[in-house]
Amino acid sequence: LLVALAIFYILLGCFLDGISIVVLTMAVLMPTIQAAGIDPLWFGIFVVVVVEMAQVTPPVGFNLFVLQGLTGRDMTVIARYALPYFLLMVLAVVLLYTFPGLVTWLPGHMVG
């Protein structure tokens, strides 16, 4: 389920900005996530990381447009330079999936 959602969010990120993705999908996905027994806090962090991954995917990755405006370079060059950061975010998602306690440890200790 989570791999399918990650792919879905990355595909949406090719065409929409981050806040639009979250607003369009959360009302439908939250009941599904809760029924699957996934912690909503963990899922929220997962969505933030995956949506940020989606923001550096061409053709409409908005962070790529920001970088193009700052540097004045061609979009293909910027996308190529952004690829290592995308791969690091993939690693972060894998770590979040493998060790879900990374997300919930600090809030769990803050609540008491």
Taking only the tens place, the pLDDT of each residue in 62-99 is 888 898 999 999 999 999 999 999 999 999 999 999 99
Residue 16: predicted pLDDT: 87
Q: pTM for the whole thing?
A: 0.86
Residue 21 has phi, psi (to 5 degrees) of -60, -45
The average pLDDT across 43-57 equals 93
Distance between CA atoms of 73 and 90, rounded to whole angstroms?
A: 25
Does residue 111 surpass a pLDDT of 90?
A: no
Q: What is the rounded CA–CA span in Å between residue 66 and residue 63?
A: 5
User: What was the pLDDT predicted at 58?
Assistant: 82
- Mean pLDDT, the chain, rounded, equals 92
* Per-residue pLDDT, 89: 94
